[in-house]
Chain A
Amino acid sequence: MIPEIGHYALVLALSVAALQAAVPMIGARMGADNLMMLAKPLARAQFLLIATSFITLIISFVLTDLTVSYVVANSNSTLPLFYRISAVWGAHEGSLLLWVLILSAWTFALTLFDKPLPLKLNADIIGILGIISFGFLLFTLFTSNPFDRVIPPPQSGRDLNPLLQDFGLIVHPPMLYMGYVGFAVPFAFAVAGLLNNQINSAWAKWVRPWTLIAWAFLGLGIALGSWWAYYELGWGGWWFWDPVENASFMPWLLGTALIHSIVVTQKKAIFKHWTVLLAIVTFGLSLVGTFLVRSGVLTSVHAFATDPARGVFILMFLAIVIGGALLVFTFYKPDAAQEPHGSVLSRESFLLTNSVLLSVATATVLLGTLYPLMIDALGLGKISVGAPYFNTVFIPLMAPLLILIGLGQRAFWTNDSFRRLSDAAKYPLLATMILALGTWGMIDDTSPIMALFGLVLALWVIFSTLAGQIRHYRSSKKLITPYLGQSISHIGFAITVIGITLVSSYGLEKHLRMSEGETTTFGGYKFRFAGASAISGPNYNGTEAIFLVHSENKFEARLAPQKRNYHSGGQTMTEAGISPGLTRDIYIALGEKINDTDWSVRLNIKPFVRLIWLGAILMAFGAITALGFGNATKTSHQSQKSNQTNTTTKISE
């Protein structure tokens, strides 16, 4: 009964989505207020229906209802409760339902904050989101229905892939989807703005908070994925340039460009074409990602069980939605005359450069990810484009970006001079060089030069941000401002860069064979293999090895890496033993059992790896701070007015 409720709710949601897509937009074209006002109740009804559907799916999993084929494929009664719930989004059908749920949740949120929006614009925004929702619901119901029944039910369910039986599955997909799907909102704003020819400062002001929140979630989702891969996969890697990882990274990169472009459009009502295009393409990349993961065109460890028929559907949907939006963009001609762009070294110039650099970086990742596909499609054979390629082309693009962050955030709007900027930069630059050279020199005699570059760039960002933040606080007398959010995010980015630089340059690894009781010295630590014993868990059994780690003068950690054999799937998993720390992770993974006393082991020292994820958390936190609670960012019109009133009050320094 319960799956039926879920199923019917979903079908109803499809009808509501159709109405939501059509009615408000028709009303907007006709100028019919009553039709446009239906946007809000329709959007809310859709959310309630999809939420109901989702809840019934959760219940089916909690009860391990084996008459539902999706439950059979992904769960069984011995699976612990938390994993039974997260198994809901562990495979294609359920994660698609999550996608649709989150889209309706975002739309619902929009209806809560639609007061400042003109009725027509709002109607179009909700309508466009309705079109997207309709497409995905159609896709779900016709090709990927999580409520399909299997009668008679089997004796037991298969199992959730052991790799997914982890905290990571509970948080990573929902967080990622909140961001991924969240970019549909700026997309809808963009297309609605184009249709109504209302891309202006006010529009930018309205779309900015939604973009910031989506970006923050996506960043957190990616960081969670990286962290999860790090401790779960057992090899100590945190980024593989896997096509599906890239699929989530690209909207984030372009979303960063989008945020910076929105800032300019809000302040000076310029870059309209660029901002709108970024908003469309960012969500376009989200959809491309959905296509890549679920269609089977690319091999990836993340790819869901793939089916070309599904791929066709998503591709058509992608073509219609993004193609349609880009077509509207092609004919866009802004009404109002744009304000003039500032001088070469104005803030808007820096922001433009930033935006363009990030777009080139995104395009580079896209090129590398899709290249094997394109070569194959052209009949030129099969090649691989992996980490060596991406690292070679991507990292050099980040260097100018880091330099620009430091300068750009100090630059004046409209007009600035080289002399003034270099004056602003001198103390941060000095502090940077002293600290970077000092740290680099201290670490090791043979420190790689790349480490120095990374440190210099990251420290430059930190010091110039601090200098700018102090300056800002002094002149505005307020701490909690959107500017603070910007500072936090920029510092967060620098911290991530430091983490990446240090772990890449100074990380150590050793493979060796160890006997029980044996001790080995490595990376300044002493590792003692204390012993191995049999273990068992709710749905697995295996071996656990105990390692005692000491540094020169004290005890560091007791680590217990495991080798697990899962009953139902027969898979063997390796659970790493990790001693987390701010300045270093000690990471031990078990290889194969060689004989009764000997094991093959992998020892790792990972300095400052946690900074990578801490930086990401800061970036997201900064974005939320930049929402500016109680401190609304002014539009260009308002800025001009306050400029005039403020000439009379000089602040002496």
Chain B
Amino acid sequence: MKILAFLIFGMFIGIVNGQAFLVDEKTFTHAGNQLRYDALMEELRCLVCQNQSLADSGAGLAQDLRKKVVAMIENGNSDQEIKDYMVQRYGEFILYRPRLNYATVMLWFGPFVLLLVAIGVIMRIVQSSQSNHTSQKVSSKNKLYDDGEHS
């Protein structure tokens, strides 16, 4: 609770000092760098305003980190190197796209596995009632109301 208070207070001070909501403009040497920068900004999380990406956050730390990323891009560091740099200092928390490791396997493959299970379930249900169904054929009644009448 105290920690929450101090973090919020810290943010408040930042705002009062006019450090928040500074939308910094950049001029990169290559246009491609601008695209890389924009993409990276959406991938990194602000640790102060934890609900915002570095792209949107006005916190002082976010500004510092943005400056660092610009410097690293201009310096020729790859996206991977920039992310590694951030993770080394701030932990995995700073990445909005979790890296694939033994802890996140379920996260990245879960949806796919669920989908496979779901398809399996559907197939089971549909096929198990095929045996009940072989006797029925498309009847002339059904032809008239292809939209299931009023439903």
Contact = CB atoms under 8 A, between A and B. Distances in A.
A415 to B, nearest CB: 5
A380 B98 CA distance: 13
Contact of A388 (B25, B43, B52, B150): B43
Contacts of B144: 475, 646, 650-651
Contact of A591 (B15, B23, B53, B121): B23
Contact of B136 (A344, A364, A393, A414): A414
B89 interface: no
A513 B125 CA distance: 62
B25 A600 contact: yes
Given A386-B53, A397-B111, A602 B23 contact: yes
B130 interface: yes
Interface string A426-457: 00000000000000000000000000000000
A644 B106 CA distance: 52
Contact of A631 (B98, B104, B106, B150): B150
A410 interface: yes
A388 B118 contact: no
A344 B128 CA distance: 10
Nearest to A352: B122
B93 to A, nearest CB: 5
B96 interface: yes
Given A352-B122, A414-B136, A415-B137, A472 B147 contact: yes
Contacts of A301: 51-52
B114 A363 contact: yes
Interface stretch (A171-179, A310-318, A568-576): A568-576
A571 B15 contact: yes
Contacts, number: 194
Interface string B66-99: 0000000000000000000000000111111110
Contacts of B91: 381-382
A472 B144 CA distance: 10
Interface string A235-272: 10100101000000000000000000001001100000
B29 interface: no
Given A359-B118, A591-B22, A237 B56 contact: yes
B7 to A, nearest CB: 10
Nearest to B92: A383
Interface stretch (A109-117, A216-224, A476-484): A476-484
Given A340-B129, A381-B92, A386-B96, A570 B12 contact: yes
Nearest to B18: A592
Contacts of B141: 643-644, 646-647
A299 interface: yes
A424 interface: yes
A383 B22 CA distance: 27
Contacts of B122: 349, 352-353, 356
Given A263-B151, A343-B130, A476-B150, A242 B51 contact: yes
Nearest to A413: B148
B107 A266 contact: no
Interface stretch (A184-192, A281-289, A367-375): A367-375
Contact of A367 (B93, B97, B111, B149): B111
Contacts of B94: 384
B138 interface: yes
Nearest to A271: B125
B117 to A, nearest CB: 8
Contacts of B93: 382-384
A344 B126 contact: yes
A436 to B, nearest CB: 25
Q: Which 10 A-B pairs have the closest CB atoms?
A: A591-B23, A386-B96, A341-B129, A388-B97, A301-B51, A340-B132, A364-B111, A592-B22, A472-B147, A511-B25
11 contacts: A356-B121, A356-B122, A360-B114, A371-B106, A382-B93, A383-B95, A389-B96, A389-B97, A424-B146, A571-B15, A646-B145
